[in-house]
Amino acid sequence: MKCLVILVKVSTIGSHSSLQILHGAKMEGFQTSVITDTKREKFYQQFNFIDKVLAFKDIDEAVDLINSEEDSVLIPHGSLVEYLGQERVNKIKIKIYGNRNIFGWEGNQHKKMYLLKTSNIKIPQTFEKPEDVDRVVIVKLPGAKGGRGYFLAKNKQEVRQGIDDLIKKKEINSEEDVIIQEYIVGVPMYFQFFYSTLLQRTEIFGIDIRYETNIDGLRRLPQGYIDVEPTFIVVGNIPAVARESLLPKAQEFAESFVNNVKEKVPPGMIGPFCLESIVTDKGEIVVFEFSGRIVAGTNLYTNGSPYSWLYWNEPMSMGRRISRELKNAIINNKIDLVTT
């Protein structure tokens, strides 16, 4: 059996969650490689669980480097599409763990919300046009930009102004690129899941809270102390657990989502995903976004999360969970079920 495993290598782009992905891959017995910018070459070389660092000077070389790893499975993460761009990603010929068809859905805020809505998941109201806005909203840009460009607006005028500014700054091409979402009052909670194709079950993996600059710093200052616009750039994550009574609901949403993706984005959800949520004081979970792949919040749990210990009783990071699934798929001759 072991020979089957060593036939395959796990690779990823050096960013986002690559450390835990490759650390987990090594724990499962895989060879590992990271494809990264030459500026980060030295950084990744220090870790003994990374067997090979493939560095590129120019981003156009990245795809060639990826494709040169013929015996590898590439693990996608939030920086893959954002960094390489959809066009380059389309040129990747080696196996990708998970469903590569979901990238296009993730990159479009409207399709994203459609997928959540048709999963019978409670979502915030969306306003088609700035003129429809009748409450406080948050306006979001497409893709996994880590919150860059997002802004709050109290009324239709502010929405219009903000969108026009984004177009001027060439952050977006047109109004259609953004999504205008009702601002839900409550607390953010990001529910991380793993859908196991082999075990056909949805595991609650962990929970995190995003740590955003400058908003999480501004609120430590007396109001009006510094005249700065709040920004929402994610620069880190903080661990959390939820009331146990929220978990069945969160998991129900997750399972419903898995079923819906199976239908609408074949071959369906494979492996890690996240339901980015607000929990209101009515105890409701409102999902305002999803990620169809590993999220950086799982970086908190290199040695397992409060929830993964319940399933595994051994250190199980999301990175390792991916490689465990991959290994089991290879051993059982089912690698096509978990790669695309």
- List residues forming the annotated binding site: 16, 79, 212, 237
Judged by beta carbon, residue 174 or residue 313, the one nearer its own copies is: 313
- Residue 77 CA to residue 246 CA, distance in Å, equals 27
The closest alpha carbon to 127, from 118, 136, 117, belongs to 136
**4 HSE (CA, 13 A, CB side):** 11
Q: Are 318 and 40 in contact (CB under 8 A)?
A: no
Selected from 246, 270, 326, 335, the binder of its own copies by CB under 8 A is 246
In the complex, least distance from residue 221 CB atom to its own copies, rounded to whole angstroms: 7
- Range 295-314, binding its own copies (CB under 8 A): 296, 299-304, 306-307, 309-311, 313
- Range 15-74, binding its own copies (CB under 8 A): 15-20, 23, 27, 39-40, 42-43, 46-47, 49
Selected from 65, 94, 198, 247, the binder of its own copies by CB under 8 A is 247
Judged by beta carbon, residue 144 or residue 265, the one nearer its own copies is: 144
Q: Are 111 and 271 in contact (CB under 8 A)?
A: no
Letter for the amino acid at 178?
V
Token pair for 255: 């399972």
Strands 179-182 and 9-13: unpaired
- x-or-dash pattern for its own copies, window 172-191, by CB under 8 A? -----------x-xxxxx--
**Binding-site residues for ATP:** 212
Judged by beta carbon, residue 175 or residue 215, the one nearer its own copies is: 215
Selected from 226, 263, 332, 336, the binder of its own copies by CB under 8 A is 226
- Residue 137 CA to residue 127 CA, distance in Å, equals 9
Task: Give the sheet arrangement for strand 52-56, strand by strand.
Answer: 52-56, 31-37, 9-13, 72-74, 95-96
- Residue 18 CA to residue 15 CA, distance in Å, equals 6
155 near its own copies, judged by CB under 8 A: no
Selected from 217, 256, 262, 328, the binder of its own copies by CB under 8 A is 217
Judged by beta carbon, residue 24 or residue 98, the one nearer its own copies is: 24
In the complex, least distance from residue 93 CB atom to its own copies, rounded to whole angstroms: 26
Total chain residues near its own copies (CB under 8 A): 84
Query: 10: which strand partners?
Result: 32, 73
Q: Are 130 and 156 in contact (CB under 8 A)?
A: yes
Judged by beta carbon, residue 239 or residue 266, the one nearer its own copies is: 239
Selected from 85, 104, 107, 236, the binder of its own copies by CB under 8 A is 236
